[in-house]
Structure 1
Amino acid sequence: MPSSLSQIEIIAPHFKRRLSGVTSTVIQLVPVQNALGQKVITFGPGLPSSLPSMTAWQVPQLWKPPSGQTCRVWHARRNIEMLPGIILRDIFRMPLRLLFTSASQRHHSGWTKWLISRMDGVIAVCQKTASYLERESTVILHGIDLERFSPAADKATAKSAVGLDPGFRYIGCFGRVRHQKGTDLFVDALARLLPSHPGWKGVIAGRATAKHLAFEEELKQKVNAAGLSDRILFVGEHTNIPDWYRALDLFVAPQRWEGFGLTPLEAMASAVPVIASDVGAFPELVVEGQTGHIVGRGSVENFVTALCPYLEDDERLARASHNALAHARKNFSVEGEARAIGEVYARLLARG
């Protein structure tokens, strides 16, 4: 923990203890940003101690700009983080430039609109998010750790490593098990496809929270009733999720709603083609017909139609796998995201 903020140019507040996508973004980005020389520090609870952080006792130090600058950037990602920035800048007259990253894909409340209007800059995580903002924004898509998410050197070995039978190909669906995530659409699509494609199995990796346990149980009963309990596997939540991606041959993201959604990127970085709903940033991540397909949300028929050619055409599957990996590596590194954010920081700092 620093004793002085004299070298720090960017404050990344985090004022919620609950783990969320915002938390994951901060945890992933801050070390990379600092490695790139962006001089970022976090502020608030709910983050690992490995990240550089400041305390509330150090807030008075924000009255003095960092060495070589006339201000700092306060980079908020939630309403609860925008408001303190406004108070520090406009009431306490601290030399701060306020930046907000928006991931929301809905019309904002009047309160949120006012908060956003007080920002010096706004980043949108995708074009769809930008369309809901009533002011200019810079679109910066999320990136991922391309070392952590990478292809299997040998697919059979990768399958064995997570306890899967290397004699089969696998379609995966990863994330929370709940209606919003479309897990039922995945199950229903596979229930129609697997009987006529004996070389394939499905894998559902993720946890059902207490509120959604009944939903998960209904899906398991449906799988059992269809005689597919050995073909559609519920493997639960795992911390080694990159290993599970490497074991897949095809990935499905069947969400009915999504803010951004990193799973298609994680799959493609693992050389796994993606069939995804037209929600969140998915249409901006998947290259239609090359790295997979985007389909209309909520329709089992749409997923069946999109999946079938990949289950029946080895060349199509191999080509899409190659394209997916190349696309992810070229466009979606976390370093690329950090550099793009760094350009926004530089513009705000230059405004003084």
Structure 2
Amino acid sequence: MSHKVMHICLSHGWGGLEMYPARIIPELTRQGDEVHGLALAGSRVAASLIDVGVTPVTVASKARALLAVPRLLGYLRTQRIGVLHCHKSSDLRLGALLVTLMPGLRLFFTDHMGVTRPKKDFYHRWVYGRVTTLFSISDATRQRNLAAFPLPAERIQRLYLGIDPAPYASCLTTPARQALRDILHIPSGAVAIGLPGRLTAGKGQTVWIEALKSLHTHLPNLAWHGVLIGGLHADEGSDEAYVAQLHKRVSALGLDARITFTGFRGDLPRVFEALDIVCVPSRNEAFGLTVIEAMAAAKPVIGAASGAIPELIDAETGRLAPPGDADAWATAMAELAADAALRERLGAAARKRVQQHFTLTAHVEALRRAYQA
């Protein structure tokens, strides 16, 4: 059964939440749905929807969205849209109002961030009372959702995120891989230890840098190079003051020549090919999309033993370390850096796990079943 769906994301930011609609729309379309979008005018979300073939309805601001309710209702009726899917909790106010004024609409919400406080007052009971299904992107997130939201358990569904593993398969020739490593300033023969993601405090770059210093101190003869992957500016989702702190700390530890700040890279699957180990020390990931991306690239991942990451990694596919313990991270790095065969074995198992459990095709199939139910 096909559905007519409008994805709503009224955000000027740019992170995993904002990228999600454009990531899944091609697969939704391939599986037979007709997809529409609502975004802020001039936002990267709006541009990303256009890039995947959806011309979004736009509003100037969230406040203007409420004023545009009559126009939006007219659009929904004309296009015969039956499903709304929100991705920011602040957008649910608009979604709930549209559902109230247009009986028959079904409202879905994905909690991409992981709720941090209870939402059971009168206003939130009204808003969430109109949500057909709330999607939790991990078991850890679902447990928090069950405690925080005024919804019965049967209306809170765990739905793991997924990716297309194909772009992450190795495709670089040996010379091309070496050329990319040269661009990233990785010395010949060095074990490349990468950390991809937004440069913000919650992503754990500080503990990663301290772990690399510990690695250098305890194994001075080990050849390694750190690669910090992520935009350096606010419009790329990063905290510029925090980026400056990272640069300062790297210099203070004498690691300027041992750590590359790549800036934003649009070729992350290829960058993964240049790495030997991937680290994801985020303190409280609601899911961990970067984890499964690195796994799909057949890379062993060291992940934080917190949030949802332990649901993705086990001893057969990578390693876990306490999120704030730099020495524990250094120990895990040292184990993998010293054993190329272990890295290859873990990486192969990691890619297989993604293919079995975390594909975009399976994610969208489950999403469409929820729309239909």
- Normalising to structure 1: TM-score of the pair? 0.85
What aligned pairs does 1:39-188 form with structure 2 within 5 A after superposition? 39-45=34-40, 46=43, 47-48=46-47, 49-50=50-51, 51-53=53-55, 55=57, 57=71, 59-63=73-77, 66=80, 72-90=82-100, 92-103=101-112, 104-109=114-119, 110=121, 111-134=123-146, 135-136=152-153, 137-154=156-173, 157-162=176-181, 163=183, 164-188=186-210
Is the contact made by 1:33 and 1:40 (CA closer than 8 Å) also made in structure 2?
yes
Is the contact made by 1:105 and 1:128 (CA closer than 8 Å) also made in structure 2?
no
What aligned pairs does 1:242-257 form with structure 2 within 5 A after superposition? 242-257=269-284
More helix per residue: 1 or 2? 2
| Cα pair distance change 1:225/1:98, threshold 3 Å | closer
2:311 aligns to what?
Answer: 284
Unaligned 5+ segments in structure 1 are 1-6, 348-352
Q: Distance in 2 between matches of 1:131 and 1:232?
A: 38
Q: Distance in 2 between matches of 1:310 and 1:336?
A: 31
Is the contact made by 1:32 and 1:338 (CA closer than 8 Å) also made in structure 2?
yes
Name the aligned partner's letter for residue 93 of structure 1. Answer: M
Q: Distance in 1 between matches of 2:223 and 2:248?
A: 23
SS in 2 for 1:180: helix
Q: Cα distance, 1:194 vs. partner?
A: 3.3
What aligned pairs does 1:235-246 form with structure 2 within 5 A after superposition? 235-246=262-273
Q: Deviations over 1:130-188 (max 9, x none)?
A: 11223322211111232332334446632422514443220001122332211111111
Is the contact made by 1:65 and 1:72 (CA closer than 8 Å) also made in structure 2?
no
Q: Distance in 2 between matches of 1:344 and 1:168?
A: 47
Name the aligned partner's letter for residue 144 of structure 1. Answer: I
Q: Cα distance, 1:249 vs. partner?
A: 0.6
Aligned CA RMSD, in angstroms, stands at: 2.5
Q: Deviations over 1:106-139 (max 9, x none)?
A: 2333344542232112211111111122332221
1:23 to 8, 15, 18: 18
Unaligned 5+ segments in structure 2 are 58-67, 147-151
Identity of aligned residues (%): 24
SS in 2 for 1:12: strand
Q: Distance in 1 between matches of 2:276 and 2:355?
A: 18
2:345 to 299, 319, 329: 319
Q: Distance in 2 between matches of 1:269 and 1:42?
A: 29
2:334 aligns to what?
Answer: 308
Q: Distance in 2 between matches of 1:80 and 1:105?
A: 12
SS in 1 for 2:166: coil
2:247 aligns to what?
Answer: 220
Is the contact made by 1:63 and 1:95 (CA closer than 8 Å) also made in structure 2?
no
SS in 2 for 1:242: helix
Is the contact made by 1:157 and 1:166 (CA closer than 8 Å) also made in structure 2?
no
Q: Cα distance, 1:53 vs. partner?
A: 3.8
Is the contact made by 2:191 and 2:337 (CA closer than 8 Å) also made in structure 1?
no
Is the contact made by 1:98 and 1:119 (CA closer than 8 Å) also made in structure 2?
yes
1:200 matched to 2:219? The reply is no
Is the contact made by 2:214 and 2:327 (CA closer than 8 Å) also made in structure 1?
no
SS in 2 for 1:328: helix
SS in 2 for 1:132: helix
| Cα pair distance change 1:304/1:165, threshold 3 Å | closer
Is the contact made by 1:79 and 1:112 (CA closer than 8 Å) also made in structure 2?
no
Aligned residues: 335
Q: Deviations over 1:256-283 (max 9, x none)?
A: 2333331111111111111111334211
| Cα pair distance change 1:100/1:220, threshold 3 Å | closer
Q: Distance in 1 between matches of 2:275 and 2:174?
A: 8
Is the contact made by 2:187 and 2:225 (CA closer than 8 Å) also made in structure 1?
no
